[in-house]
Amino acid sequence: MLIRRARVLGSEHTDVRWRGDLIVESGTGLRPLPGEDDLDARGGWLLPGLHNHHIHLRALAVRADSVSLSPDRVAGRAQLIAELRRLDAELPAGRWIRGIDYHDSVAGALDRRLLDHALPTRPIRVQHRSGALWTLNSAACAAVGLDGCTATGVEREPDGRPTGRLWRLDSWLGARVPPLSPDLAQVSAHAARHGITGFTEATPELTQADVAALAAAVSEGRIAQRLHCMAPPAITDPRVARFTLGPTKILLDDQALPTLDAFTDTIRAAHAAHRPVAVHCVTRVQLILTLAALAAAGIAPGDRIEHGAIIPDTVLEHLRDSALTVVTQPHFPIERAAQYAREVPRDDRADLWRLGSLRRAGVAIAAGTDAPFGDPDPWRVVAAATTRRAGESISLPEALALFLGRAERPARPRTLRPGARADLTLLSAAPEDLARDPAAAADLVAATVVAGRPVHLGADR
């Protein structure tokens, strides 16, 4: 297939041809070969396909079976209770209510008592916006047998009774609640319309069955993109086309930090299995502990910092010299501006979600949407990156590059040269048009090509 008359990123050529899943020719004035499909770009911008370097696909897919209880939709305890009771009146008997996006600014810290006040008999589970916490009412606690759970993530009253708050127990809870049927095909199609040709699945502690199910979704075409999947060291590769195993995800919580020796051993075990690590760092102490453990264990190619929500300037040089990649979310300071204004001490704000300062320091950076905990639209992330506060904004080409890296090396840019994979995103707008409003590109994707196959074509193509 041939795309011609394009503005090709990083090239003076206007035409790109591929066979199978590899680009074989680039030039200007190329003509279609006999029987070859071709696409006239009409001066649109042709890019390597966008790769979302941090996403939670199944959690995003089940949003259709959930209700958002975010501060934007629910304000105050009375409105929260009213919303839960409205749902109770609409749902069939016995159906669980699954709330998402909750933040303490809505009605304070949730526990089973507050949820029982709203609905004492229908099971309810509510996920905090951070993704770290589920809160259950008493009916839900009884349904999953929470009283008998001895996991350390179960928060308890002084008398030992569970409060209904479960920290980092997604797998335990998921095995005990009614199963959901996530529509991964819908998520994939939405992403294709936005020019995404690859995902990095960042959910921690996936089982072999979880990984097999995701690989099957790729093999069967329900996920049309490439999928790079984080997984524990013992997970074996299903050996499916367009599916690869990625780094081992390591979660840290300030309330239960490992010792430096234990953390170092965890990293060494991943490296011994030939797997890099991706460490969740959203606080200063998590980052400092991670850098110390990586220094002790030795840094492997592909090791990365997820989020980097707080990065003091004193570690920028160390991050650069260690060749670690920070996979960040430039849109969070905009999406969560009100929350950060309330909760982040003024002295910490200069260190919050660094971007431009990381780039100037020579730190390797890439981006993921972190959907469903952030907006899944990569173009909103690009727009946010170009409009950050003074000193942290970056140019449009630099913002695009956050999504153009390789799955296994997120900060190493891909190209559209011969020999490269035929993963492409074609926009119907020229670069100078997009510069005025990067977010508008979400409606300007003319074609998305994965492994040489168009998975999205605009209505006029």
What's the DSSP call for residue 30?
-
Q: Taken in order 443, 445, 450, 455, is the CA torsion positive or negative?
A: positive
Question: Which two structure tokens, joined as six digits, stand for 136?
Answer: 């259950």
DSSP helix/strand/coil, 293:
helix
Q: Would you state the pLDDT for residue 342?
A: 87
Instruction: Give the list of residues 6+ apart from residue 154 with CB closer than 8 angstroms, or none.
Output: 146, 162, 165, 166, 167, 169
d(CA 454, CA 437): 26
Q: What angle do CA 17, 18, 21 make, to 5 degrees?
A: 160
Per-residue pLDDT of the chain (461 residues; tens, 9 = 90+): 999 999 999 999 999 999 999 999 999 999 999 999 999 999 999 999 999 999 999 999 998 889 999 998 999 999 999 999 999 999 999 999 999 999 999 999 999 999 999 999 999 999 999 889 999 999 999 999 999 999 989 999 999 999 999 999 998 999 999 988 889 999 999 999 999 999 999 999 999 999 999 999 999 999 999 999 999 999 999 999 999 999 999 999 998 899 999 999 999 999 999 999 999 999 999 999 999 999 999 999 999 999 999 999 999 999 999 999 999 999 999 999 988 988 888 888 899 999 999 999 999 999 999 999 999 999 999 999 999 988 999 999 999 999 999 999 999 999 999 999 999 999 999 999 998 899 999 999 999 999 999 999 997 76
State the amino acid at position 149 in one-letter form.
Answer: C
Q: Would you state the pLDDT for residue 270?
A: 98
User: What count of other Cβ atoms lies within 10 Å of the Cβ of residue 390?
Assistant: 6
78-102 burial: b if 16+ Cβ within 10 Å, else e: eebbebbeebbeeeeeeebbbbbbb
Q: Would you state the pLDDT for residue 257?
A: 95
Q: Would you state the pLDDT for residue 347?
A: 85
Q: Would you state the pLDDT for residue 139?
A: 97
Judge contact between 166 and 173, C-beta under 8 A: yes
Q: Which helix (H) or strand (E) holds 294?
A: helix 284-297
Instruction: Give the list of residues 6+ apart from residue 270 with CB closer than 8 angstroms, or none.
Output: 233, 247, 248, 250, 276, 277
Instruction: Give the list of residues 6+ apart from residue 335 with CB closer than 8 angstroms, or none.
Output: 374, 375
d(CA 370, CA 382): 14
State the amino acid at position 293 in one-letter form.
Answer: A
d(CA 101, CA 272): 37
d(CA 121, CA 93): 10
DSSP helix/strand/coil, 142:
helix
Q: Which helix (H) or strand (E) holds 460?
A: none
Question: Which two structure tokens, joined as six digits, stand for 101?
Answer: 């996006």
> Going by DSSP bridges, is the β-strand pair 277-281/304-307 parallel, antiparallel, or unpaired?
parallel
Nearest residue to 422 (alpha-carbon basis) of 219, 179, 242: 242
DSSP helix/strand/coil, 389:
coil
Q: What is the pLDDT of residues 198-214, one digit of tens each?
A: 999 999 999 999 999 99
> Going by DSSP bridges, is the β-strand pair 325-328/364-367 parallel, antiparallel, or unpaired?
parallel
